[in-house]
């Protein structure tokens, strides 16, 4: 699905940038885009994606910090030989790397799902019927 959204965005951008219809057609396209962009359903989804981005931005550093703490604790164990400390730090590092990778994967999946939701809402809003004033009706 992500590839399809990318193709649609790429084609739209190519059309807008390569349009031979001139400035007037560009302004019409821009106006249509802004009408869809400013509808309530699209803005609700934009808000959701913004919040997701904020939470995702906090999840990954948290996993990195936790991993660093575990490695430091493993390397600083009292009563261990330097070799045992190194082995414990390496083991903790490998486990932490797995935790960071899992957190990154979850974050990427959530971001992809949110992007797909926004793309669907934008497409639905673009298909919404117009009211008497020529504006699109907001559909929740």
Per-residue pLDDT of the chain (140 residues; tens, 9 = 90+): 566 767 777 777 777 666 666 777 778 888 888 888 888 888 888 788 777 777 766 666 777 777 777 777 777 777 677 777 777 778 887 777 887 788 778 777 777 777 787 777 777 777 766 666 656 555 44
Total tally of structural domains belonging to the chain: 2
For residues 71 and 74, what is the distance between their CA atoms, to the nearest angstrom? Answer: 5
Q: Which of 112, 134, 124 is nearest to 49 (CA)?
A: 112
Residues 19 and 67 in one domain: no
Residues 44 and 101 in one domain: yes
Residues 58 and 24 in one domain: no
Residues 58 and 115 in one domain: yes
Residues 30 and 50 in one domain: no
Residues 6 and 72 in one domain: no
Both tokens of residue 133?
């004033």
Residues 112 and 99 in one domain: yes
Domain of 14? 1-37
The pLDDT value given to residue 138 = 53
Residues 23 and 59 in one domain: no
Residues 49 and 9 in one domain: no
The pLDDT value given to residue 65 = 73
The pLDDT value given to residue 135 = 60
Residues 4 and 18 in one domain: yes
The pLDDT value given to residue 133 = 62
The pLDDT value given to residue 74 = 75
For residues 11 and 27, what is the distance between their CA atoms, to the nearest angstrom? Answer: 17
The pLDDT value given to residue 97 = 81
Contact 96, 67 (CB under 8 A): yes
Residues 6 and 47 in one domain: no
Residues 55 and 79 in one domain: yes
The pLDDT value given to residue 87 = 79
């Amino acid at each position: 699905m992500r590839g399809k959204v990318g193709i649609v965005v790429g084609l739209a951008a190519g059309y807008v940038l390569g349009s031979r219809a001139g400035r007037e057609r560009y302004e019409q396209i821009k106006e249509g885009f802004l009408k869809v962009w400013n509808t309530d359903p699209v803005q609700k989804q934009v808000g959701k994606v913004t919040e997701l981005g904020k939470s995702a931005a906090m999840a990954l550093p948290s996993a990195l910090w936790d991993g660093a703490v575990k490695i430091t604790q493993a390397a600083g164990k009292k009563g261990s030989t330097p070799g045992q400390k190194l082995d414990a730090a390496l083991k903790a590092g490998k486990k932490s790397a797995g935790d960071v990778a899992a957190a990154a994967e979850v974050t990427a999946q959530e971001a992809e799902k949110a992007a797909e939701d926004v793309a669907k809402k934008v497409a639905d809003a673009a298909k919404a019927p117009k009211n008497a004033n020529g504006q699109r009706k907001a559909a929740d």
